[in-house]
Structure 1
Amino acid sequence: MIDKKSPLPMYYQIEEDIKQRISNNEFRPSDMIPSERELSESYEVSRMTVRQAMTNMVNEGVLFREKGKGTFVADEKIEQPLQGLTSFTEDMKKRGMEASSKLISFEKVAAPLDISRKLAIEEEADVYQIQRIRYADQKPMAIEKNFLPVAMFPGLSEAIVLGSLYHYIEQTKKQPIGKANQMIEATTADENQASLLDIPTDSAVLYIERNSFLTDGTPFEVVKSSYRADRYKFISDIYRA
């Protein structure tokens, strides 16, 4: 419960209490949280105080709202370390989750200027443009758009990209992957992204753009991804110089 004599704000105490109840499995993922009225009566505070606590937890991704239904406990976010270059399939396997993909498009296109520069190929050279929805345990997690030079991977097919591209590149093509440059920024889902990810329009997403290189320094891939911010978070170890 909450201590009204505490210097900590009451809404903060409510947040911490509900988080503890989630941690103790009193509330499990997808469980509906009691209504604002019920919580205000239980904590003996105003509904405005409860609403602030609930809104903060929704913004954190601890809870989510469904219009006309109520507020529910969100699934635990998947942590993705920023150290180390791994594929989505490898990430999910490490967590004991089943990775799968739905292919939205697979086509050869003339490389746009920004892509050709990052792949160090001639402007308008042929590239594969591959768009997939990535799933973890059958739940949509991200939309990925990959660009790879056709000249480097002439045998690439739809069947291959439904699996792990990195496995194909390293195990089949025998081209070891070395490093990547990656940019991450916060944005919101447009109507099409929201539909593919099964989230409301304007929901928070993490936009990631990555340029990947083989061990010999050859760029082989540009990836533009949009990850659900309510299901994914990135973590990093930071050291003082």
Structure 2
Amino acid sequence: MAAPLYRRIAQKIKEDIAKGVWKEGEAIPTELHLSEQYQASRVTVRQAIKLLVEEGLLEKVQGSGTYVKEQKIEHNIFELLSFTEEMRKLNKEPINKILDFQLIEPEDHVRRRLQLSEGDKVFYVRRQRLVDDVPYVVEDTFLPVDMFPHLSYSIMTGSKYDYIEKQVGKRIKESFQEVIPILPSEDIAQALTVEETTPILKMESYSIFEDGTIFEYSENHFKSDEYKFTLRATRP
């Protein structure tokens, strides 16, 4: 049995989007135009659009029209997941490229955030986080040497949280995060393959073990055309 006409039209619209006929963020033609194009009633076209809206491929903007939805990665602020865990939930396999790995004395703001004493050392690691060869995030992480004496370059090419929980045997409780829009520095722009005039999202965070110990301070730089931050607010 042939699929209903509205489903066939929806499939055709999907194919046109995949071919780049309509790009992410662009408006699709009006119902009248589509009904003429597909030789179908406006009711049938409306059903096809409704189906694609429900599937998350299109979005309706009141008083404006219907647009191809931007397929950004949603980062749920209230869910503590590593980048690797977040991507694997989306059936994507991330790659961590180490851009810098050093043993250093941290600057004052990092030392205060990690509650370290004068002279305490940290591992500083800059990682470029990629999916399908596209850089999504540049992460600067500071980890106290006393807590992670065996940290290595090869460990940081994998999941940091996996290493901490499965190999070090520490339980991560929570993370405190602040997200701000910024213009990237030259080196961050280069690592994210964006222009220095392109706004990005910077997230400063520190993470805590179940015993209350702060074990990590990170500055993550997110490519704003690939990422969006979401939260759900409940009315009391």
CA contact (8 A) 1:112 1:124 kept: no
**Aligned pair in 2 of structure 1 residues 27, 125: CA closer, same or farther (>3 Å)?**
farther
RMSD, aligned CA:
2.7
Map of 1:117-132 to 2, 5 A cutoff? 117-132=112-127
Map of 1:168-187 to 2, 5 A cutoff? 168-187=163-182
Q: Which structure 2 residue ranges, 5 or more long, are not aligned?
A: 1-9, 24-28, 34-57, 59-67
**Following the alignment from structure 2 to structure 1, what is the Cα–Cα distance between the partners of residues 119 and 111?**
7
TM-score, normalisation: structure 1: 0.71
**Following the alignment from structure 1 to structure 2, what is the Cα–Cα distance between the partners of residues 30 and 146?**
39
**Following the alignment from structure 1 to structure 2, what is the Cα–Cα distance between the partners of residues 142 and 29?**
25
**Following the alignment from structure 1 to structure 2, what is the Cα–Cα distance between the partners of residues 135 and 121?**
31
The CA deviation string for residues 195-237 of structure 1, in whole angstroms up to 9 with x for no partner, is 1111222112110000000011000000001100000001111
1:25 and 2:20 are equivalent in the alignment: no
1:28 is aligned with what amino acid? I
Residue in structure 2 matching 1:232, options 227, 230, 235:
227
**Following the alignment from structure 1 to structure 2, what is the Cα–Cα distance between the partners of residues 236 and 225?**
18
Q: Which residue of 2 aligns with 1:103?
A: 98
User: What is the CA-CA distance between 1:194 and the residue it aligns to?
Assistant: 1.9
**Following the alignment from structure 1 to structure 2, what is the Cα–Cα distance between the partners of residues 125 and 85?**
27
TM-score, normalisation: structure 2: 0.72
User: What is the CA-CA distance between 1:80 and the residue it aligns to?
Assistant: 1.0
The CA deviation string for residues 25-59 of structure 1, in whole angstroms up to 9 with x for no partner, is 2543682659xxxx9xxx9xxxxxxxxxxxxxxxx
CA contact (8 A) 1:187 1:206 kept: yes
Map of 1:160-239 to 2, 5 A cutoff? 160-239=155-234
> How many correspondences in the alignment?
188
Which segment is superposed worse, 193-202 or 24-33?
24-33
CA contact (8 A) 1:113 1:123 kept: no
Residue in structure 1 matching 2:72, options 71, 77, 88:
77
Q: Which residue of 2 aligns with 1:114?
A: 109
CA contact (8 A) 1:101 1:162 kept: yes
The CA deviation string for residues 100-141 of structure 1, in whole angstroms up to 9 with x for no partner, is 111000001002111111111113410000001001222110
**Following the alignment from structure 1 to structure 2, what is the Cα–Cα distance between the partners of residues 218 and 24?**
52
Q: Which structure 1 residue ranges, 5 or more long, are not aligned?
A: 1-20, 44-61, 63-72
1:238 is aligned with what amino acid? A
Q: Which residue of 1 aligns with 2:86?
A: 91
Map of 1:31-50 to 2, 5 A cutoff? 31=20
Q: Partner of 1:101: helix, strand, or coil?
A: strand
CA contact (8 A) 1:30 1:74 kept: no
CA contact (8 A) 1:148 1:222 kept: yes
**Aligned pair in 2 of structure 1 residues 123, 191: CA closer, same or farther (>3 Å)?**
same
The CA deviation string for residues 144-165 of structure 1, in whole angstroms up to 9 with x for no partner, is 0000000000000000000011
User: What is the CA-CA distance between 1:192 and the residue it aligns to?
Assistant: 2.0
2:189 is aligned with what amino acid? A
Residue in structure 2 matching 1:143, options 118, 121, 138:
138
CA contact (8 A) 1:116 1:124 kept: no
